[in-house]
Amino acid sequence: MKPAVQTLPAEVTTKPFFELTQEMLNCVRDFDFDRLSEICDDDYGIVDINTTGGSEIIRDRAGWEAWFRGLFVNLKGMNASTWSEITQYEVVTGENMAYSVVDFDQIFITPEQKLRFGVVATIIWKKTPDGWKEARYHSSLKGVQPM
């Protein structure tokens, strides 16, 4: 099974930070720690969904790095494929900070199972000397469906 081609309307895909959000999600798909690390500062950590469907609360950058390095190793070890399909996207921008709310389906496939996780995430963006970066990410699980 391969990722679906996104067919969201231009009024959604041209909103600020949409492409950066998509790239961030694609870094998870591609297990690309280095690029994800460039996009995200996460000075105060994140709240993410762990591999059992619970909340993973990370408080600092060191914890963030350990979480994603370990996650990518675990996913590779499970022979897992995963990708995200954005279903809704809203954003409010300011001069130096912004926030977006993104609803997406996280597809998770291993040789044993195929699941679709419904997720809603709030992303806080901050303007840095190197450009806009994710400053805080908080996701919640809306539900899980077998595929």
Residue 97 belongs to what domain range? 10-146
Split into its structural domains, the chain has a count of 1
Tell me the pLDDT tens digit for each residue of 96-106: 999 999 999 99
In contact, 96 and 123? CB cutoff 8 Å: no
CATH number of the domain that 88 lies in? 3.10.450.50
Decide if 4 is inside a domain.
Answer: no
Decide if 15 is inside a domain.
Answer: yes
Position 42 confidence tier, pLDDT thresholds 50, 70, 90 = confident
Decide if 66 is inside a domain.
Answer: yes
Decide if 3 is inside a domain.
Answer: no
Decide if 137 is inside a domain.
Answer: yes
Tell me the pLDDT tens digit for each residue of 51-95: 778 899 999 999 999 999 999 999 999 999 999 999 999 999 999
In contact, 3 and 29? CB cutoff 8 Å: yes
Q: How far apart are CA 80 and CA 77, in angstroms?
A: 8
Decide if 2 is inside a domain.
Answer: no
